[in-house]
Chains A and B, each alone.
Chain A
Amino acid sequence: MDWRRFSFIGFIIVFLFTVVVLIGGSRVSPTIIISSMLTTTIAVATPLTLGALSGVFCERAGVVNIGIEGMMLAAAFFGWLTAIYMNTVFKFDPNLSLWTGVLAAILTGGLFALLHAWLSITFKVDQIIGGTVINILAVGITGFLNRQMFFGEGSIFGGNVPHAPGLLPSLSKWLAPLCGGPEGCLGLPGLIQGTFLDQKPVALAAIALVLVSHYVLFNTRWGLRTRAVGEHPKAADTVGINVYRIRYVNVIIGGMLAGLGGAYFTIESVPSFEPLMTNGRGFISLAAMIFGNWTPFGAWAAALVFGASQALQINLQFFRDAIPPQWAFLQHAYIVGLAPYVLTMLILTGIIGKTIPPAADGQPYEK
């Protein structure tokens, strides 16, 4: 990540924030708007950050993972299903059910990643095809089970979708007993309160995982070997490193990260599942990873840009009737909704300079 990339990212984020402040500024104070934008940006960037980290681990080890989308979708479904089961069938406490759901989501991601690893490392299937298989498989399985369990005659829940046990609480709720109430915790100013304390566990974990990933990749034995395997697997092999093992483990770690990202959708963001609900986030994560030059911090920064463009869409809805007539196109959610996708394509054209993938990325290793 060079300064041009970071300043480009900073510029876009400032621009998107300014648009909302200009439109909504007459109704609500700019501080509140900025705080709200920041909160939403960090929250909606969560699955993108985790997806991009997933990509970083896989691709630093030399395995292209285009199946992140499917891993997230499957994890979102199975995490949610587990939470419901735990709550309604096994009568777990709602919070415990949710945490079990998160665990199930991580495991689901790991299992799908195991399949991807098996295909691309052991069977040397074209990795982009393998990832596509994962995506299609995830859509098929979640669609089928969703229908089979919840809808129609003879379905397990008899046509009634049971209530999910709610959502994970935000940090400020946890801290509430410490500082006497959910509001004004520790007397921190509103901005920090909003951006940080209102975040929920998966979002906070994602930020922590950015730091951890950076440390692991660049300062530990595992990281050195992972990067070696992604750059020149034969060289790693000749110094006694088990290329297949390194690749397998990293792909599975990547899948678990994607799985945690999946948990964001159904356990942290909304308490329900819809088919295809990941809506391309897995693919946008890949773009974030590429723009971030396969580094955790770079990927996170890029994920925040996409988060900001989505936050724009969400926050503009509050001010729809305040949009001046010459900007009428901003009234249409579908048009504003284009922003992350167009941004992705723009970023990949390399106008901000090209990034270089690990040298052996996408190539199966044969002894």
Chain B
Amino acid sequence: MQNADEKQPQPGWQQAVRAGLNAALVPFLAIVTAVIVGGVIIALVGGNPFAAYLGLAQGAFGSARAWSETFVWATPYIFAGLAVALAFKGGLFNIGAEGQLAFGAVATAWVGYALPEVLGIEIPGILHLPLAIGAGILAGALWAAIPGALKAYAGGHEVINTIMMNYIALNITSYLLNGPMKDKNPLNVIARTPEIAEGARLPVIFDGLRVHWGFPLALLVALGVWYLLWKTTLGFEIRTVGANPDAARYAGINFRRILIVTMALSGLLAGMAGAVEVTGLNYRHELGFSIGYGFDAIAIALLGKTHPFGVVLASILFAGMRNGATRMQFLTQIPVDIISVIQSLILLFVAADAIIRYLYRIKAKEERLVLTRGWRG
């Protein structure tokens, strides 16, 4: 042990970068391993893995258009991934991002297409867009606060409750989009809302490309989440409750309030994913668009080691895979669904980092990440 007098500097940016690279090592090797195993699977079903991956890479990052589409995919991933990551930091497993996202999208769409009619006035864009997004994040936050409150006051475990609320959200949106909120256009046979007003739309960044201002917004929000978690007292409280709820109570933190706040913030981020998809990309909500985002978000949060910056990188990777998969299928006839297999393998290897450490002979440097605590937690 060194003498405590020896002045050691506060951890500066060099240490932060080194820590970041260390933290990224296992996820990186997990990706490599999953890609190799995925290649073996492609070969087993009679495809050429090299051709497939080449097509995938071209489709994802091969042109300005490809990049644009990748960022379009990445936008909701970042929001939803941050939602799950933030909840993990607070010791909560939010499997309900999917439902929160769907509710956010419905609320945003409604404000976008129906509010002007209800109020009987044209709402100026400068007001309409924030209103639409605001409604979406509010809906997401409220929807997520319910399982938060059930956990805080009634001991209902959030894992089951958020899953149940996914199915409830799916049923309710199905009802709404097939009934009261269905696009009344006689040509329409799909369960979807009418288009939102021009004023409620997020503009694209470059003419001719679909990438919209939602993407920079997502990056900004990631920075915001990082600041919230590590630089504010609320973040200190959230992390303390997540790391040791007993110590949090001892420290005088109102842990029930923090539980609900954490879930609401998480739902807010998931709701923002829905809101931005509606205002920036689809201009309406359509049934079925949100399916699968919830589980992708969990994979992204874990791959990003529940750190906001990690989430951004993981989102872009997952988005690139989803985006590039279409071209891969076009070129090699390998179904796009192989991506789900590779992504679940990545998740497998990230979660079971012991496998990766064993394969590549890496010594464990950090304590095991404790994310959940069984039914009692």
Closest to A151 in B: B335
B160 touches A (CB below 8 Å) = yes
A320 to chain B, nearest CB (A): 15
Q: Residues on A close to B: CB < 8 A? A: 64, 66, 119, 123-130, 132-133, 135-137, 139-141, 143-144, 146-148, 151-154, 276, 279-280, 283-284, 286-287, 290, 332, 334-335, 337-338, 341-342, 344-345, 348-351, 354, 357, 361-363
Known contacts A119-B352, A148-B45, A335-B175; A342 and B168 CB within 8 A of each other: yes
Q: Which of B235-243, B256-264, B369-377 binds A?
A: B369-377
With A123-B352, A125-B354, A126-B371: A140-B178 Cβ-Cβ less than 8 Å: no
B375 A139 Cβ-Cβ under 8 A: no
Chain A contacts for B343, CB-based, 8 A = 136, 140
A141 engages B341 (CB within 8 Å): yes
The one of A135, A286, A354 that contacts B160, using a Cβ cutoff of 8 Å: A286
Enumerate B172-190 residues with CB–CB distance to A below 8 Å: 172, 174-175, 178-179
A349–B150 touching, CB < 8 Å: yes
Are A283 and B163 touching (Cβ within 8 A)? yes
- Classify chain B's interface size: 35 or more
A152, B372: Cβ atoms closer than 8 Å: no
CB distance from B164 to the nearest CB of A (A): 4
In the assembled complex, which residues on chain A have CB atoms less than 8 Å from the CB atom of B155? Answer: 349-350, 354
Instruction: Knowing that A143-B337, A334-B178, A342-B168 touch, tell me 7 more A-B residue pairs with CB under 8 angstroms.
Output: A123-B354, A130-B351, A133-B347, A133-B352, A140-B341, A349-B156, A354-B155
Asked if B372 and A143 sit within 8 Å, CB to CB, the answer is no
Identify 15 residue pairs between A and B in the complex whose beta-carbon atoms are under 8 Å apart, listed by A's number: A64-B374, A123-B354, A126-B351, A133-B352, A136-B344, A136-B347, A137-B345, A140-B341, A283-B163, A287-B160, A334-B172, A334-B174, A348-B156, A349-B154, A361-B374
The smallest C-beta distance from B163 to any residue of chain A, in angstroms, reads 5
List, in ascending order, chain B residues with CB within 8 A of A283's CB.
160, 163-164
Partner of A345, one of B150, B373, B375, B376: B150
Which chain B residues have a beta carbon within 8 Å of chain A's beta carbons? 45-46, 93, 95, 150, 154-157, 159-161, 163-168, 171-172, 174-175, 178-179, 291-292, 295, 298-299, 302, 333, 335, 337-338, 340-345, 347-348, 351-352, 354-355, 368-376
Residues of chain B within 8 A (CB-CB) of A152 are 333, 335
Point out the residues of chain A lying under 8 angstroms from B342, CB to CB: 140
Which residues of A are found within 8 Å of B337, using beta-carbon distances?
Answer: 140, 143-144, 146-148
Contact yes or no, B372 A129, CB < 8 A: yes
A124 to B351, CA, bound (A): 10
Contact between B160 and A144, CB atoms less than 8 A apart: no
Shortest Cβ distance from residue A306 to the other chain B in the assembled complex, whole angstroms: 11
Residues B168 and A136 in contact, CB atoms below 8 Å apart: no
Shortest C-beta distance, A150 to chain B (Å), equals: 10
> Which of the residues B45, B95, B178, B354 comes within 8 Å of A132, measured between beta carbons?
B95
- Judging by beta carbons under 8 Å apart, are B157 and A348 in contact? yes
Instruction: Return B3 CB to nearest CB of chain A, in Å.
Output: 34
Nearest residue, chain B, Cβ from A140: B340
Residues in chain A near residue B352, CB distance under 8 A = 119, 123, 125, 130, 133
B376 surroundings in chain A (CB, below 8 A) = 357, 361-362
Chain B residue numbers with a CB within 8 Å of A126 are 351, 369-372
Chain B residues within an 8 Å CB radius of A276: 291
Given contacts A152-B335, A335-B175, A338-B171, A362 and B156 within 8 Å (CB-CB): no
The 3 A-B pairs at the shortest CB distance, nearest first, are namely A362-B374, A140-B340, A144-B337
Residue of B nearest to A127 (CB): B374
Q: Which residue of A is nearest B349, CB measured?
A: A133
**What's the Cα separation between A342 and B347 when bound, in Å?**
30
Contact between chains at B161 and A332 (CB < 8 Å): no
Q: A123-B355, A143-B340, A144-B337 are in contact. Are A128 and B159 (CB under 8 A)?
A: yes
